[in-house]
Amino acid sequence: MDTLHKLEVFKDTCSNDAELDQVLGKLLDITLSRHRRRLERYEHDLGDFEKRYGMDSGTFYKRFEAGEQGDAMDFFEWAGLYELRQDILGKIRRLESGL
C-alpha cells in the first residue's frame, strides 16, 4: 500500500476532522522533535570544525564553494554537515508552519 493510499484509509477511519487534526498534529510534533535533535548534533559537530579552524560555518561554506579552502577531507565533511544543517532547518521551518 503506497503512502497516499494509507493516508486515505487513515482519513476515512477517523471519526471526525478534529480527531484527524489531533493525530496529525502529534505526528508533526514527533517528527519536529526528531529533526531538532538531529539539528543539535549537526550544530555540535559544526561547532567543533569552527573551533578547529577559527571560522564560522557560513563563511567557511562560501569559501569552500568558491574553491578557496582546498581539498582536505575535513573540509568536505564540514561542507556536508553544513548542507545537512541547512536542509534540516528548512524541514523544521516547514513543520513549524504546519502546527
The pLDDT tens digits for 14-40 are 888 888 888 888 999 999 999 999 999
Determine the structural domain holding residue 35 and report its residue range: 3-98
C-alpha cell at 8: 486515505
> What's the pTM value of the predicted model, to 2 decimals?
0.83
**Total of domains in the chain:** 1
C-alpha cell at 16: 471526525
Picking from 21, 30, 38, the residue whose alpha carbon sits closest to that of residue 90 is 38
C-alpha cell at 51: 573551533
Q: What is the pLDDT of residue 23?
A: 86
3-class SS at 8?
helix
Over residues 63-83, the mean pLDDT reads: 96
